Structure 1
């Protein structure tokens, strides 16, 4: 196990590239990439960095030269032979050869496309443009780089003993959370913390702590590189990116209304079992469920990623019951802003009513709140989203209007098409 504090002190991170591999990414990105490669290989998209926490002045904290150095390093990466063998030959979700030969051949020859980085005041604008399958793979490494460079900037002036105490306190905090989670019977929890982690080494440490502390109740990690290196299950399904781009490509309101279901129809052809998880909140969960075709009710479960999680779970249970399905056989995955208290509350309320799983993200892999001067390591909300497809803007409404994005006129149109009325604005924690 790495002595993280000593490693930081000895060389101030210079030896460690932030992103070590093209599979230092979330599993769902590779699953979605294969689907996009099959169905929309030539679609041109634009991804852009969005700092929801604009009180964090990234351009004042992070040196532009260092940022470019790390981004350029990612562009130099290619899939290693052992990584390719793992993807080609491993069993994921009980399925051999999850990744098709044509996709793997493309991935093995991939170098990520160019980026455009500019400073605007105290923030950076960072955009990626090109073919969808290539550009989408920038999202996770871009976020990981910016989050870790911000961590490095805060740590740079700390002394050796200060670093030792900092990491000792952070480790104690994680372990105290693990000890609480041990008390939850039949818990199923996975690491979802790649995109806004404190650092790669810290995420790897957290995963090892969960593995030892929770045993069989730890389901695995979304990070492919850590899953490979630690012989763990790679966890993930799909994300908002798919319906956002499909919807942007839709011609007319009728096609727009169908787009979120067209996404899942394509997914249905490729996957089965626990990969058939609905993410209903892109344009509002109530309307999505009300208009959903009957075949979707037969899917394995639903992931709840915005809004009040308990309300979302109750809505899912009621929907399954209205479609003649037994909720006790269905899976609900909670993945929005989780920490121990919320996991405990949701587990207590829904255990026995549905099958439960928790995707624990930023407050697992980046909970340094209160541990650095001026709270300089506190997590913040940074995303990298598809903002355009074939020149058309994308829109996300969410079940929390504070997570909505898109031009005001298009947001109004999407609300009309999807029947989204008043929504409760909730704090975006991370």
Structure 2
């Protein structure tokens, strides 16, 4: 299948991951004067074709016209009762400001930077990654598999998960091949799979009448480290989440400053209030054992809690994890690129991460992520060393 060069655009302001909106409501409520900086990280060292920056800029400029429709607002009111009317009114008035995004190209390298008030810039990450990915494939004129093949492969996967007896969600917005493929995948999952429980993409959840899924991302904890210090970051991030959502959206992300550090503060209060935790880096089997043992140490039945696994999953990895956890703790799986960019081309490995935060009336402060997988650490060397020293991490 051959592609012509065309303008890559997004269909809706809701074409974004759910956790961006859930975090945005918190930022609007708690940190309205905070600012943030982000940058694009090309983990896969992909080589960008000539003219890529111009094509991406053109796509970004079109985003200024996106706005929440009345129908979308009514739908959010119905399916997300924890979004209060003030936030939904704010979201209806929100417009992307392309001046918050800087795009540069030097040969085959592309650099993307975002800066502005956090309550505004928080929505840029996922759509920008979508546009980078789709523009990359469109400009290369790559030949992907047919729609029929994409549907057949997706159907085969969801039927396999059904036989395995696990539930799965689609988490592939950021590195999808294209919106068309993404839409096709979610449509197929909804039509053919009882194990399918929802998607992280809010627009596609609405279109295909399924559940939007997500809570918070690493940047939530990274900002709290800039505001309150590394030792208090996890605690304050969870406390603030509870303050806003009062028991809803109860899956906690554990690996911003390593899982071991997280479990030091994940006491009985948090462990009972949160429905479970999400795994996003490191050995999933080791993580499962640590989580199960931690709940047991607090006198909590692990089977009353859930681990959401979401790190680079495919069928074989899911099967291995499911066999390891069966009968020991509740599990579910968020599958991303293997759903939305399994089209016969090399998937992109790209991320956008917060690099600095400016809490209210304070200076710009570098932020870091200390993943359970060292290759996923983000931040400058000095800041990473400072975080490790503060948290006594080797």
Q: TM-score, normalised by structure 2?
A: 0.93
In the alignment, structure 1 segments of 5+ residues that lack a partner are: 372-376, 422-430
Conservation of the 8 A alpha-carbon contact between 2:8 and 2:134:
no
CA shift, 1:44, in A, is 1.1
| Structure 2 counterpart of 1:35 | 26
| Distance in 1 separating the partners of 2:245 and 2:287 | 24
Conservation of the 8 A alpha-carbon contact between 2:158 and 2:196:
no
CA shift, 1:261, in A, is 1.0
1:279-318 alignment runs, 5 A limit: 279-298=253-272, 299-318=274-293
| Distance in 1 separating the partners of 2:231 and 2:307 | 25
| Structure 2 counterpart of 1:385 | 353
Conservation of the 8 A alpha-carbon contact between 1:189 and 1:359:
yes
| Distance in 1 separating the partners of 2:317 and 2:192 | 19
Aligned to 1:227, the other structure's residue is in SS state: helix
| Structure 1 counterpart of 2:361 | none
Deviations 1:48-84 (A, max 9, x none): 1111111x112x2663322111000112212122112
CA shift, 1:283, in A, is 0.5
Deviations 1:226-276 (A, max 9, x none): 1111111111111101011111223xxxx4201111011010112245611
| Distance in 1 separating the partners of 2:386 and 2:107 | 32
Q: 1:107 to 1:210 in 2, by over 3 A?
A: same
| Distance in 2 separating the partners of 1:295 and 1:169 | 48
| Distance in 2 separating the partners of 1:327 and 1:61 | 52
| Distance in 1 separating the partners of 2:386 and 2:240 | 25
Aligned to 2:164, the other structure's residue is in SS state: coil
Q: RMSD in angstroms over aligned alpha carbons? A: 1.8
Q: Is the counterpart of residue 265 in structure 1 residue 239 in structure 2? A: yes
| Structure 2 counterpart of 1:110 | 94
1:51-200 alignment runs, 5 A limit: 51-54=42-45, 56-58=46-48, 60=49, 63-87=52-76, 89-92=77-80, 96=81, 98-113=82-97, 114=99, 115-155=101-141, 166-185=146-165, 187-200=166-179
Q: How many residues align?
A: 386
Which sits farther off after the overlay, 138-147 or 101-110?
Answer: 101-110
Deviations 1:295-318 (A, max 9, x none): 112121010000001111110111
| Distance in 2 separating the partners of 1:18 and 1:358 | 29
| Structure 2 counterpart of 1:249 | 227
Aligned to 1:137, the other structure's residue is in SS state: coil
CA shift, 1:419, in A, is 2.5
| Distance in 2 separating the partners of 1:212 and 1:167 | 15
Conservation of the 8 A alpha-carbon contact between 1:241 and 1:386:
yes
| Distance in 1 separating the partners of 2:220 and 2:15 | 21
Q: TM-score, normalised by structure 1?
A: 0.86
Conservation of the 8 A alpha-carbon contact between 1:57 and 1:122:
yes
CA shift, 1:330, in A, is 0.4
1:336-355 alignment runs, 5 A limit: 336-355=311-330
Q: 1:210 to 1:272 in 2, by over 3 A?
A: farther
Conservation of the 8 A alpha-carbon contact between 1:62 and 1:150:
no
1:364-375 alignment runs, 5 A limit: 364-368=339-343, 371=344
| Distance in 2 separating the partners of 1:274 and 1:355 | 18
| Structure 2 counterpart of 1:47 | 38
Conservation of the 8 A alpha-carbon contact between 1:18 and 1:148:
no
Q: 1:235 to 1:62 in 2, by over 3 A?
A: farther
| Distance in 2 separating the partners of 1:172 and 1:101 | 42
CA shift, 1:337, in A, is 0.3
Q: Is the counterpart of residue 333 in structure 1 residue 317 in structure 2? A: no
CA shift, 1:353, in A, is 1.2
| Structure 2 counterpart of 1:204 | 183
